[in-house]
Amino acid sequence: MPRAFLVVMDSVGIGGAPDAGTFFNGDLPDLGANTLAHIAQACAAGQADEGRSGPLHLPNMERLGLGAAMRLASSVPFPGLEAEPQGLWGCAREFSRGKDTPSGHWELAGLPVPWDWHYFPDRALSFPEDLSAFVAEQAGTDGILGNCHASGTVILDTLGAEHMRTGKPICYTSADSVFQIAAHEETFGLDRLLELCKAIAPRLHAMKVGRVIARPFLGSAKEGFTRTTNRRDYAITTPAPVLTNWVQDAGGRVHAIGKIGDIFSMSGIDTLKKGSDTRLMEYLFHAVETAEQGSLTFANFVEFDSMHGHTRDIPGYARALEWFDAEIGRLLGKLRKGDMLLLTADHGNDPSWPGSDHTREQVPVLIAGLDAGTIGQVKFADVAASIAAHLNVPAQGPGKSFL
């Protein structure tokens, strides 16, 4: 029986979304945003030589068809990545009206989001008064800190010391449909933070806020504050079965790596591994070595997005891409006959773009283990339908297999 490995490179967009002009970073539309092309341009111009040097070097994904997919998706010019594709390649566009993690992953798993997410306004007090009071009540404090749109790292510098002094949770949001709570793992307590997020999640989900995110951190005002890897997302449960459920219902096992378990609220998932991207890559190698016939391994590598996209760190993003490409090169040699490895992304996060939000882009679809050729421009939901077809699993939803 075949196996499938679906690997999401979080935020590695390739531009060209036809509706990018209706999505914004502040007042600037995403029209023209292109995460990979702009990184490649910066590398070729010598503007990304911190910890690396020279043109962007992604030979393994290039051979799978990355450059060809980029040229298919967008007319934004970029240097290099011109090798003849040896894999099955194309690009995918999203139907859901969102450029966030749940929207992208749900649709890649076969379910376009059937509603409009709720977003909090970017103003001095972003949250309704009754919601802020409810969160404070659940936290056992006489108020909250933040109550605004903010960068997750900047707000720690601004409010971390006050949080440690008062015990009040730091609550903030972004252009995504999220309610985030940052708290110190030692002075506030990690378990207390997780219980708080779990307690308030049903109320936020009823508002169609996609995720409540626990953002634990350590440090002090003197030494600086650093977020830890103990982040936890409490996401709305999908209102209909998705790829993970299809596989599990057909008798296959589903292995989640990274934040997949949080995104799908563990629905249709048998095992979960979490950690840094370096650790996640170790788990992916282990899955290739040990996963059962007929199984799906669904992985997300988040640090492209969380560490380099939102912070607009072009050199760091380039380093992460080159590290990932080298690891994928080693992984390709370990695939078994009949395996399907599909690399894609959930949205863009152009580190050259103004603002700090995701960017609305198409994404690459690169497939190893099958024939070489092009699948053209497809839909996100077609990814789920195609993996189901490969695994001989009945598919639901609007996607069509491109196999």
CB contact at 8 A, 308 and 288:
no
- Residue 381 identity: A
pTM: 0.92
| N- to C-terminal Cα separation, the chain | 17
pLDDT of residue 153: 85
Give the rounded distance of the alpha carbon of 8 from its chain centre: 7
Q: Which residues contact 50 (CB under 8 A, 6 or more apart)?
A: 315, 316, 319
Question: From the annotation, which residues make up the binding site?
Answer: 10, 305, 310, 346-347, 358
The CATH number that domain 3-114+239-391 falls under is 3.40.720.10
Angle between helix 380-390 and 101-108 (nearest 10): 40
Q: If you average pLDDT over residues 200-222, what whole number do you get?
A: 97
pLDDT given for residue 329 in this prediction:
98
From CA 168, how far away is CA 393, in angstroms rounded? 49
Query: What is the rounded average pLDDT for all residues in the chain?
Result: 96
Cβ(337)–Cβ(52) under 8 Å? Answer: no
pLDDT tens sequence across 59-116: 999 999 999 999 999 999 999 999 999 999 999 999 999 899 999 999 999 999 999 9
Give the residue carrying structure tokens 């599909």.
342
Residue 89, burial from CB neighbour count under 10 angstroms (0-12, 13-18, 19+): buried
Q: How many CB atoms lie within 10 A of CB 137?
A: 12
Domain boundaries of the chain, sorted by first residue: 3-114+239-391, 129-235
Q: 10 Å Cβ neighbour count for 46?
A: 10
Give the residue numbers of the binding site for Mn(2+): 10, 305, 310, 346-347, 358
pLDDT in tens, 38-60: 999 999 999 999 999 999 999 99
pLDDT tens digit string along 255-273?
999 999 999 999 999 999 9
Structural tokens at position 88? 């099955």
Interstrand relation of 28-29 and 363-368 (parallel, antiparallel or unpaired): unpaired
Q: What is the dihedral of CA 112, 298, 256, 106, to 10 degrees?
A: -10
CA atoms of 162 and 164, how far apart (whole Å): 5
CATH of domain 129-235: 3.30.70.1250
Q: Which residues pair with 148 in a beta bridge?
A: 172
What percent of the chain clears pLDDT 90, i.e. is strictly above it? 96
- Strand 373-379, strand 88-93: pairing: parallel
Distances (CA, A) of 110 to 89, 155, 264, 388, 400: 19, 35, 12, 10, 10
Residues 190-218 have a mean pLDDT of 97
CA distance 112 to 289: 32
What span, in angstroms and rounded, lies between the C-alpha atoms of 380 and 156? Answer: 35
